[in-house]
Structure 1
Amino acid sequence: MKVTLKRTSFLQELQTVQRAISGKTTIPILTGVKIVLSNEGLHLTGSNTDISIETLLPKDDEKAQMVIESNGAIVLQARFFIEIIRRLPEEFLTFELMDNQQVKITSGKAEFVVNGLDAENYPHLPVIDSGNQLELDTQVLTQLINETVFAISSQESRPILTGVHFILENGNLTAVATDSHRLSQRKLAVDSSLSFNIVIPGKSLVELARSLQDGTETLEMAIMENQVLFKTENMYFYSRLLEGNYPDTGRLIPNSFNTEATFSGQALGQAIERASLLSHEGRNNIVKLAINNEHIVLSGNSPEVGYVEEELSYQKVTGDPLEISFNPDYMKDALRAFGDQEIVIRFISPIRPFTLEPAAENVDFIQLITPVRTN
């Protein structure tokens, strides 16, 4: 096994698979990166108990300028190996497998020899049923993740809520996340006759979004018994699925309201940010919204620090007067997912969850936040 290539191209692939490599594992070989050199190019694999990532750096990649002299395979301790590659002095490096599972890495006048492990002992990745795949636009999937994953639970006491619930039926894909205090649901139409009902760990989806490279237009999503695979031209991203039944969140979303207000999402987010400067310093992280037909006022009161009040700009308000308190961090996360769109917030009462939706009617995206009861 011997190859010469550009260091930056190699390092980029290593950093992608490193997302799946944990320093803490009961299987020692999984602290390493599997490297396979074939006639196709350089295959790199990283894995832990939750996700596995396999990438291919093709031999004809113009940026890599790869010269393959002989094929082979090895597993190297990921943390040390990646740091070595990062610190090599020259633009090109040569990577050579020698006897006794040792690898020689040379670049300019620097030479490293590191011990490896037999690649045959590395766990095999699942085999995918190629007939059960859904094609998705990469940007759409990334946006779908960003619009939902922040609402998952960080508490392991209810593991199913640490994931995002994906349902595909009748050509409609729904993604839902909730931590029982807030909920985010996004729906979109897809060209597929497949159907599935799965829960993907939120941490896996965050790493997937980070791993998808700019310029990758589409990917394929395939599901097995307890795994899901996201496949691009040069990357396979596997994640385990969460076991159990996700709560029936559809019944949580109300369909009748008493008060409605339309805002610029960006401007409202900035006002919430200002109000939370004081609320974060107090014992209770709460801000209050007071709505009537003449004005809308946002306020925060922290006895330890002080008081803030701001009259908000809005596009429209209808319905009953209302005063409601909520966690500003939940609202900031929700508004961030909408970007600079206009949003409609609908309320029932000070103690019932309220919803946020885009003012544009062609986007099926709704968020729900549970208010905080105050005396």
Structure 2
Amino acid sequence: MKFEIMRHRLLDGLNDVMKAVSSKTTIPILTGIKLEVTEEGLRLTGGNSDITIQTFIRAEENGEQVIRVIEEGSIVVQARMFYEIVRKLPTSYVEIEVNAHFHTHIRSGKSEFHIIGQDSSEYPLLPEIQDNRQFAIPADLLKSLVHETVFAISTSESRPILTGVHWSLKNGELVCVATDSHRLARRKMTLEQLPIGEFSSVIPGKSLSELSKIIGDSTQSVHVIMTNQQVLFKTSNVLFYSRLLEGNYPDTSRLIPTEYKTTVTMDGKALYQAIDRASLVAREERNNIVQFTSLGDNVVEISSSSAEVGTVEEEISTTLIEGEELKISFSAKYMMDALKAVGGHDVKVQFTGVMRPFTLKSVHDDSVLQLIVPVRTY
């Protein structure tokens, strides 16, 4: 195997696949990256027990030669070492040559490295996925979907199913839900050409976070192919496989109230900033609790107190307060996360009582819903 490649394109590809490489693995070859070069270009593969990422760099892009292939072949190289070598090479071109016994030579300018590779035939094959459950999502929409839900997954392994986001397809609608049992984030979207029938999967939150980084600012559509154990996200040059979480996701639809006693409509950005200021005091207490009180005349008070630091109180004007007077306490962090997901525009906060979960959504768009369980402070 022997080829030359533009260093910045090789580095771009490595940046993608490195997201799937773990130093802690029971399969030693997975600490490596598989390189396969053909006349068409270079395919890089990295994986761990949860995700596998494969990216393809074409030999020619936009009329420019990116790779000059002298001899086709494949090799597995130690991921961290190879990445660091390429990152620090002195010139804009890299020559990679593999000789007998997997000896791999990396040359750039007057710099030359000799590293020992491994037999690529020992690298695990990619899962075979049938494409009968396939649909497409615009990349920017997929990225916002991840942003609006993933933060609400559980970080505790005591209930592994809650460390993922539940995706369900039904009647032409995709519904994505994440919850850690103290809060919930839900995003709904209507998509064209969804597969017939109903099905659902729980995708690990960590997988979705890594996927979001790889998508970046892409404007392409991402094809999503689901099976019972794997999901594949496919773009023109990246394949992103993730295992699915096993088990039944709890029925969260019954947690979302259908009737409300108090509704407050207000500027989401102003509410976020007031809670952010109140949390300066709240953070000194371990529970980071902020209190929300309706005062009448379309005014609410955000307050917090700490025995060691003191108190903070701030009044904010609202657009409208409907229903009963209210005094409720909640986690400042949870509320700020929810407001970030909903966006900085006018929000509607709806309450069903002092100790009942309450919801947030945008006044202009109810496709994103956030639910928070309040905190008892007495």
- Range of TM-score over shorter length: over 0.9
Q: Secondary structure at the match of 2:107?
A: strand
Question: Is the CA contact (8 Å cut-off) linking 2:135 and 2:195 kept in structure 1?
Answer: no
Q: Secondary structure at the match of 2:285?
A: coil
Show the counterpart of 2:36: 36
Identical pairs, percent: 48
Question: Is the CA contact (8 Å cut-off) linking 2:342 and 2:369 kept in structure 1?
Answer: no
Asked if 1:274 corresponds to 2:258, the answer is no
Show the counterpart of 2:246: 243
Residue 299 of structure 1 is aligned with which of 291, 300, 303? 303
Q: Distance in 2 between matches of 1:129 and 1:150?
A: 30
Show the counterpart of 2:346: 342
Q: Distance in 2 between matches of 1:116 and 1:357?
A: 53
Q: Secondary structure at the match of 2:302?
A: strand
Aligned-partner residue type, residue 74 of structure 1: I
Question: Is the CA contact (8 Å cut-off) linking 2:132 and 2:195 kept in structure 1?
Answer: no
1:162-184 CA distance string (max 9 Å, x none): 00000001101000000000001
Aligned residue runs from structure 1 range 117-156, under 5 A: 117-156=118-157
1:205-249 CA distance string (max 9 Å, x none): 000001114334101111122000000010000000000000000
Question: Is the CA contact (8 Å cut-off) linking 2:149 and 2:165 kept in structure 1?
Answer: yes
Q: Distance in 2 between matches of 1:185 and 1:276?
A: 25
Question: Is the CA contact (8 Å cut-off) linking 1:137 and 1:217 kept in structure 2?
Answer: yes
Aligned-partner residue type, residue 336 of structure 1: K
Asked if 1:327 corresponds to 2:328, the answer is no
Show the counterpart of 1:351: 355
The offset of 1:292, in angstroms, is 3.0
Q: Distance in 2 between matches of 1:8 and 1:193?
A: 39
Q: Secondary structure at the match of 1:321?
A: coil
Q: Distance in 2 between matches of 1:257 and 1:148?
A: 23
Show the counterpart of 2:20: 20
Aligned-partner residue type, residue 308 of structure 2: E
What's the C-alpha RMSD, in Å, of the aligned pairs?
1.2
Residue 368 of structure 1 is aligned with which of 350, 359, 371? 371
Show the counterpart of 1:115: 116
Show the counterpart of 2:84: 83
The offset of 1:64, in angstroms, is 6.5
Q: Distance in 2 between matches of 1:200 and 1:284?
A: 30
Show the counterpart of 1:215: 218
Aligned-partner residue type, residue 14 of structure 2: L
Residue 201 of structure 1 is aligned with which of 204, 210, 218? 204
The offset of 1:4, in angstroms, is 1.1
Q: Distance in 1 between matches of 2:246 and 2:101?
A: 42
Q: Distance in 2 between matches of 1:80 and 1:283?
A: 42
Q: Secondary structure at the match of 2:20?
A: coil
Change (3 A) 1:363 1:260: closer
Asked if 1:234 corresponds to 2:252, the answer is no
Q: Distance in 2 between matches of 1:98 and 1:193?
A: 48
Asked if 1:71 corresponds to 2:99, the answer is no
For normalisation by structure 2, the TM-score amounts to 0.97
Change (3 A) 1:268 1:228: same
- Aligned pair count? 374
The offset of 1:301, in angstroms, is 0.1
Q: Distance in 2 between matches of 1:154 and 1:210?
A: 20
Q: Distance in 1 between matches of 2:270 and 2:342?
A: 12
The offset of 1:296, in angstroms, is 0.6
Q: Distance in 1 between matches of 2:166 and 2:134?
A: 18
Moved over 3 A (4+): none
The offset of 1:131, in angstroms, is 2.8
Aligned-partner residue type, residue 22 of structure 2: S
1:285-339 CA distance string (max 9 Å, x none): 1110111322210001011111111111321111111100000000010011122
| Structure 1, 241-250 or 1-10: larger mean CA deviation | 1-10
Show the counterpart of 1:258: 261
Q: Distance in 1 between matches of 2:76 and 2:373?
A: 49
Question: Is the CA contact (8 Å cut-off) linking 2:134 and 2:195 kept in structure 1?
Answer: no
Q: Which runs of 5+ in 1 are unaligned?
A: none
For normalisation by structure 1, the TM-score amounts to 0.97
Aligned residue runs from structure 1 range 280-291, under 5 A: 280-291=283-294
The offset of 1:282, in angstroms, is 1.6
Show the counterpart of 2:319: 315
Q: Distance in 2 between matches of 1:42 and 1:182?
A: 44
Show the counterpart of 1:165: 166
Aligned-partner residue type, residue 163 of structure 1: G
Q: Distance in 2 between matches of 1:163 and 1:313?
A: 37
Q: Distance in 1 between matches of 2:65 and 2:25?
A: 32
